Structure 1
């Protein structure tokens, strides 16, 4: 995201951002809102990536002056927090839990994956977030409820959710990169030839054995499921 921080930008104040009024109190009522500004920023990020999201572009989308936006999002860091929480409202938080915490965590991870694939800028954004907003907190509450049967303390539950989210974000980044490679068949074929040559050179026996193993389903869904199962099934709650 371009760094065009506004006047007096000092980082995110979570109390100001999430607990206090979001509308200016003085002057005539504006024809736009923080919700509209955030939605416009999300639309830009979805279509063109975070680098396209500048205050000038967002202002143009909502028909506002650039300086007036700073009453709602005083800096780009704050705008990013608003964007993350805005799209987090898409995540379901009322679907019944099964009581099988591993199964429920896998469901949560799949929801996160689908969500991040819809918003490809999210994996990078969540790595820098500071202050979870109401929508994010609702999904976190759901994950903590799913972990209740483990008997783990609160800190451990939070760590597991952070680990799960980091895994999903990293894997979605991997999926996006793989999709870009697939769109370049020449590059994919060159990489396959390279690995075949390395495996046959006699200096990499472990790699040669690994590459000669029976193939597995390589669809994005199948690959994600294998990785997810290894992560969740291997969690130790002792």
Structure 2
């Protein structure tokens, strides 16, 4: 069971088989196969049997290194967390946090299943610890103590995951409709409702120049608002 995951056993006995004969593939290869399956078909497609089929082995051979799907999910999350591409810290911690958040956003778009998987994580492996270490270094010039920097990293990561989750959901909506027609219908509807006089704040907002519709600009603008409240 996931509640019984032992972090020492999971992360410090990397390729020591739990039982039986040594399988044809390493734990890293098994994890990579599961990640590839999730990237292509979504997390729901990831089962021990499906991963075994992808590798061309009997499902029982996987249990030597990966006892269940919950453990496999831990391995998958940590493997992709280790892909985080972050530049070395500078003294400009605001710029460094923007770069870190942008790297997290790119990572979650490469692995869309990660957004929903992160809340299920029970422990942290070396890939996740490397990301945390980088974040603590990035935030060092802020003057915040270590515990507060850890909280800020969690706050930023939560914002990125929430924002990417919204972006992915919007992408699915637009894939099922004509984006231009969908946007035009939304504008017509909101304009009509604002004209009723029942929503004066909405009417005033709609009368303002619109914010840039570029997704990258939107992400940066929202992130900057979050960062503005982090100065100790």
TM-score of the two chains, using structure 1 as the length reference? 0.89
Instruction: Name the residue aligned to 1:48.
Output: 41
Distance apart, 1:86 and its partner CA:
0.9
Matches within 5 A, 1:68-79: 68-79=61-72
Structure 1 residues 181-200: aligned runs within 5 Å: 181-183=173-175, 184-185=177-178, 186-200=181-195
In structure 1, the partner of 2:226 is: 231
**How far apart are the structure 1 equivalents of 2:201 and 2:83?**
44
1:156 and 2:151 are equivalent in the alignment: no
In structure 1, what is the equivalent of residue 58 of structure 2? 65
Q: Which runs of 5+ in 1 are unaligned?
A: 1-7
Structure 2 alignment gaps of length 5 or more: none
* TM-score, reference length from structure 2: 0.92
Q: Distance in 2 between matches of 1:40 and 1:76?
A: 13
8 Å contact from structure 2 (residues 18, 65) kept in 1: no
Cα distance in 2 between the residues matched to 1:132 and 1:219 = 34
- CA 1:9–1:132 in 2, change beyond 3 Å: closer, same or farther? closer
- Please provide the CA RMSD for this pair: 1.8
SS at match of 1:235: coil
In structure 2, what is the equivalent of residue 171 of structure 1? Answer: 163
| Residue aligning to 2:12 | 19
Q: Distance in 1 between matches of 2:141 and 2:150?
A: 14
Task: Tell me how many residue pairs correspond in the alignment.
Answer: 229
1:41–1:58: 8 Å Cα contact kept in structure 2? Answer: yes
Give the alignment of 1:128-147 within 5 angstroms. 128-147=120-139
Q: Decide which structure has greater helix share.
A: 2
